[in-house]
Amino acid sequence: RSQITMRRIVLNVFSTYAARFEESLPQFILEKHGFPVRREAMQIMHFGQNMDLIETSRRRFAYEEFLYSQILWARHKLHHNEQVLGLKFENRREKTTALKQKLQFELTGAQKRVIREIFADMCSVKQMSRLVQGDVGSGKTIVSLFALLLAVENGYQAALMAPTEILADQHYQNISAMLEGIAVEIELLKGGSYKGKAGIKQRIAEGHAQIVVGTHALIQKDIVFKKLGIVVVDEQHRFGVEQRARLAKSQGRPDLLYLSATPIPRSLAMTVYGDLEVSRIDEMPKGRKAVQTYIRSDRKLNTVFSEVREELRNGRQVYFVCPLVEESEKLALLDAQRLYEYLKNKEYPDYVVELLHGRMPAAEKDAIMCRFKENKIQILVSTTVIEVGVDVANASVMVIEHAERFGLAQMHQLRGRVGRGSDKAYCYLIGHQPISRIARERLHTMNSTNDGFVIAEKDLELRGPGEMFGLEQSGMPQFKHANLLQDQEILQIARADAFEIVAEDPLLADPKHELIKNKYLLNYKKREELIQY
C-alpha cells in the first residue's frame, strides 16, 4: 500500500513539475549515444517496465556525472600544459648510467617503461605532475632515484619527501648506499631543532646540497632551495588535490613525482587523480617470493604460535598486528596491550617482545622501529602504525589478529612488510567469529592473490569509492548514479568526449556547448579554482 501511495506522489510531482526538468546534456551528445532526454529518462527510471530502457536511462545519468567531472580535469590539464611552464631538462646520462652499472640487479620492464615516461615529462617544457603507483616491493624508490639524478645532472637540486622521520632516514640510508662512488651531495633534513640543522639549511640555500631527503619539513617557509628542480613525494596516496596544487606553485615550479604503494583501480585514478599522469609498475622484481598466506580461526592460535616459534628459532623476526590499542567493552577485541603481555610473559619469554602503537610519541616509535630493524627486538606487537613501510629484511612472519576487522588494502599493506629479504615469508590472518559475508570475501581475496591491483579492484567493489579513498577529500563529488567499478566503459566514453570538447572549445563558448557551460559554471567552477596550478 505504501508503495502505491509513494508512486502516486511521485507521479503527481512529475505531472506538476515536468516542464521544469531542464535538460543538462546538449542535443549532439544525446544523439551520439542514443540517450533519452532528461525528463523522459527520469520518468523511465521511476515508472519504466522495460529493463533495457531503465538501464539506458541510468547509463545516461552515469555518463552525465562522469562527463562534468572529466571536463574539470580536461580544463585543468589544458590550463596546466598551455599556461604553466615548467623546467626543461636535457636528457644527460652520465650519473644515471653510472647508477645503472652499479646496480646488482636488472631493472624490470615496467621500471624501465616508467623511467622513460618520467624522463619524457622532465625533458618537456611542461611541469611534470605524475603519479607512480606500484605494489609494495615493486621498486618505486629506485625509479624515483633516476628522476632525482636527472635533475642533479642538469644543475638542479632534488627533494624527496617521506611521511615519517623513520622513512626519511631509511630513504637517506638507501640512497646514500646506492649512490656511493657517484659524485652527489646528499643531505637528510629532520624536523625539530638539532645540532647541525642550521648548516644543512645553509647548504640547501647555497645549492651545495644536491639531493635533500626529509619529511614535510622540506616545504616549510624557512627552507629555501637555491635551484629546486624536482620534488618526489613518497607514500602520499592521501595527498589531496589542494595540497598538490600548493606544492606545484612552490619554489620555482619544480617537477612533481608522487609515489604510492596503494594500487588504485584505473577508474578511480581517472576521477581522484585526474590532475596527474599515472604510471603503473605492474611487474615485480625477479626472485621476490610471494608471501604465503593462511586463514586461521582463533581456536587454532596455538598452532600459529608453534609455527611462529619455528621461525624465531631460525633467527627470523615476527610482527603481530591488532586493530585496537585498548580493550573496548563494545568490541571485545584482543587488543595489542593484552596480546603483548601474553606473548612476552607466557608464549615467548626467551625472546625480546616490544609494543608499538599510535599513541606513543614519534621519537619513541622511531626508537622501537630502529631496534627492531637491528634485530634487538624479535617480536613486535603493533597496531596498524607499521602499515607505511619500514624495511626489515629479516622479518618473515606477519600475524594479523582479528583480520575480519581490517580492510583489504590495509591487510595487503601489512602483508607487504614481510618477505622483503630472500627467505620464505608467511602471513596468518586470524579470524574471530562472527565473521560477516563481506569480511569472508576479503579474507578469501587475500588468500587467493598477492597482486595489489587485483586486490584494489576487489576493495573498490566491496567498499565503494567514497569509503575507499574519500572522494570529498579528493576534491571530487560523490556519484549518485555512476558506479566506478561497473561503469568503467561509460567513464572512458565520457572522458574521451570531455577532452574532445575542451580541446575544441576551451572556454565552452560555442552555442552548442551552452548547456554544458551553464551546468559546469554552476557546479564545478569553484572546484576548478581550488585545484588550479
**What is the CATH number for 163?**
3.40.50.300
Among 281, 315, 334, residue at a domain's last position: 281
pLDDT band at residue 83 using 50, 70 and 90 as cut-offs: low
Same domain, 211 and 333: no
Which strand (E) or helix (H) includes residue 381? strand 379-382
Nearest Cα to Cα of residue 396 among 285, 322, 340, 312: 312
pTM of the model: 0.81
Tell me, yes or no, whether 485 lies in a domain: no
Do 262 and 404 belong to one domain? no
In a domain, 457, yes or no: no
Select from 281, 311, 326 the last residue of a domain: 281
Give me the pLDDT at residue 46, please: 81
Mean pLDDT of the chain: 86
Contact 423, 393 (CB under 8 A): no
3-state secondary structure of 322: coil
More confident site: 408 or 366: 408
| Whether residue 304 is found in the same domain as residue 441 | yes
- Which domain, by its residues, includes 443? 292-449
- As a whole number of angstroms, the distance between CA 24 and CA 64 comes to 8
Region at 230 (left for phi over 0; alpha for psi -120 to 50; beta for the rest)? beta
Q: 3-class SS at 294? A: strand
More confident residue, 244 or 322: 322
Greatest mean pLDDT among 40-54, 121-135, 147-161, 485-499 lies in: 147-161
- Is residue 15 in some structural domain? no
Same domain, residue pair 63 and 176: no
Residues 311 and 363 in one domain: yes
Q: Are 119 and 258 contained in the same domain?
A: yes
φ/ψ of residue 35, rounded to 5: -90, 145
The percent of residues above 70 in pLDDT, for the chain, comes to 90
Nearest to 164 by CA among 197, 139, 191: 191
Looking at the domain assignment, is residue 463 inside a domain? no
In which region does residue 124 sit, left (phi positive, over 0), alpha (psi from -120 to 50) or beta (all else)?
beta
Residues 38 and 165 in one domain: no
Any domain includes 4: no
Residue 226 located in a structural domain: yes
Q: What pLDDT does 180 receive?
A: 93
Looking at the predicted structure, is the pLDDT value of residue 81 above 50? yes
Q: Would you state the pLDDT for residue 500?
A: 95
- Please give the average per-residue pLDDT across 367-394, as a whole number: 84
Q: What is the pLDDT of residue 331?
A: 42
pLDDT for residue 238 is more than 60: no
Cell numbers that stand for 197 in this block: 640543522
454 falls within a domain: no
pLDDT average, residue stretch 150-179: 91
* pLDDT band per the 50, 70, 90 thresholds, residue 448: very high
Check residue 403 and give its pLDDT. 94
Q: What's the mean pLDDT in 4-27?
A: 80
Task: For residues 236 and 192, state if they share a domain.
Answer: yes
Count of domains for the chain: 3
Please identify, among 390, 419, 449, the residue that sits at the C-terminal boundary of a domain: 449
The pLDDT score that the predictor gives to residue 306 is 96
Query: What's the whole-number mean pLDDT along residues 316-339?
Result: 70
Please check whether residues 363 and 429 belong to one and the same domain: yes
245 pLDDT above the threshold of 70: no
Residue predicted with more confidence, 105 or 387: 105
Structural domain includes residue 154: yes
Residue written as cell 586470524?
Answer: 430
**Residue 330 binned pLDDT confidence (cut-offs 50, 70, 90):** very low
**What is the CB neighbour count within 10 angstroms for residue 492?**
15
- Express as a percent the part of the chain with pLDDT over 90: 51
Mark whether 243 and 296 lie in a shared domain. no
- Reported as a pLDDT band with limits 50, 70 and 90, residue 475 is very low
Query: 321: exposed, middle or buried (C-beta count within 10 Å: 0-12, 13-18, 19+)?
Result: buried
Q: Are residues 47 and 121 in the same domain?
A: no
Same domain? 386 vs 406: yes
Which cell is 316 given?
A: 627470523
